[in-house]
Amino acid sequence: EPEVTQTPSHQVTQMGQEVILRCVPISNHLYFYWYRQILGQKVEFLVSFYNNEISEKSEIFDDQFSVERPDGSNFTLKIRSTKLEDSAMYFCASSSLGGVNTEAFFGQGTRLTVV
Amino acid sequence: AQSVTQLGSHVSVSEGALVLLRCNYSSSVPPYLFWYVQYPNQGLQLLLKYTSAATLVKGINGFEAEFKKSETSFHLTKPSAHMSDAAEYFCAALNQGGKLIFGQGTELSVKP
Q: What is the pLDDT along chain A (115 residues), one digit of tens a residue?
A: 778 999 999 999 999 999 999 999 999 898 999 999 998 888 999 999 998 999 999 999 999 999 999 887 899 999 999 999 999 999 999 988 766 557 788 999 999 999 9
- Of B89, B82, B106, the C-alpha closest to B34 is B89
Residues with Cβ < 8 Å from A71, sequence gap 6 or more?
none
CB < 8 Å to B35, chain A: none
Chains A and B: how many Cβ contacts under 8 Å? 64
Count of Cβ atoms closer than 10 Å to residue A21 Cβ: 23
CB A89 within 8 A of CB B105: no
B30 pLDDT band, cuts 50/70/90, is low
Indicate yes or no: CB of A99 within 8 angstroms of CB of B96: yes
| Minimum CA–CA partner of A94 in chain B | B98
Q: Distance between alpha carbon B64 and the CA centroid of its chain, in Å? A: 9
Can you tell me the distance from the alpha carbon of A21 to that of A6, in angstroms, rounded to the nearest whole number? Answer: 8
Can you tell me the distance from the alpha carbon of A77 to that of A109, in angstroms, rounded to the nearest whole number? Answer: 12
